[in-house]
Amino acid sequence: MSAEQPRARRERRETERTTAQGTHRPSFEEVAAAERRSRRIRGAVFGLIAAAVLGAGLYLAGGVFLGQRDKTTVANALPVRLSMAGFDPKVITARAGATVNLDFWNTDNAMHLDGGGVHTFIMDDQNIYVKIPAEARQAFSFIAPTAPGDYDFYCNTCCGGKASPTMHGILRVEA
Ligand SMILES: [Cu+2]
């Protein structure tokens, strides 16, 4: 490698650059037109993004406003709302050995990146595993344990699963 080589290359590049500038010097009109064009494109892109964000917001809110989440579809069932915020209510009380009628209501939609909006109601010691799809309403009945006490239930399809305290609740069995 000689010291001449890099210098030669640099000189050649400089010559090329000068030539390129010489052959095309954009006129004021051309520059102005290009600026107008890019401004129009930027405006259109901004409009599209704004519309997309607004649409996504309306879609997400739709599950809450249009979903009639306070209406129970099952007689004598306790509506239990499931969302990324957890179970609502978090504590469900039941008589020992009695039938527990729940009306699950998943207010999250499938656009959630965390588990696709699916939530579950799991009680390991009772062999209960209920999967509630996004924006779905689903009734579920089971027999409460005969021994009074607090029994844990949780969701394992979002928020880090069982390890996360967000989606845990208590089935409080009273004598
Ligand atoms: Cu969940």
Distance CA 123, CA 129 (A): 7
| Rounded average pLDDT over 97-102 | 96
**In the structure, what pLDDT confidence band is assigned to residue 65 with cuts at 50, 70 and 90?**
very low
**Could you tell me the pTM of the whole model?**
0.61
Q: Is 174 exposed, middle or buried (0-12, 13-18, 19+ CB in 10 A)?
A: exposed
Q: Which of these, 69, 80, 105, lies nearest to 171 by C-alpha position?
A: 80
* CA 135 to ligand 1 centroid distance, Å: 12
30-49 pLDDT, tens per residue?
Answer: 888 888 888 887 877 777 76
125, pLDDT greater than 70? yes
140-164 pLDDT, tens per residue?
Answer: 999 999 999 999 999 999 988 899 8
Residue at token pair 């069982």: 162
127, pLDDT greater than 60? yes
Report the topology of domain 78-174: Immunoglobulin-like (2.60.40)
* CA 144 to ligand 1 centroid distance, Å: 22
Neighbours of 32 (CB within 10 A): 11
Distance CA 57, CA 112 (A): 12
* CA 156 to ligand 1 centroid distance, Å: 6
Question: The tokens of 96 are what?
Answer: 């020992």
84, pLDDT greater than 50? yes
112, pLDDT greater than 90? no
* CA 131 to ligand 1 centroid distance, Å: 10
* CA 53 to ligand 1 centroid distance, Å: 25
Q: Which residues surround ligand 1, an ion (CB under 5 A)?
A: 119, 155, 158, 167
Q: Is beta strand 78-83 parallel, antiparallel or unpaired with respect to 99-106?
A: parallel
Tally the residues of the chain: 175
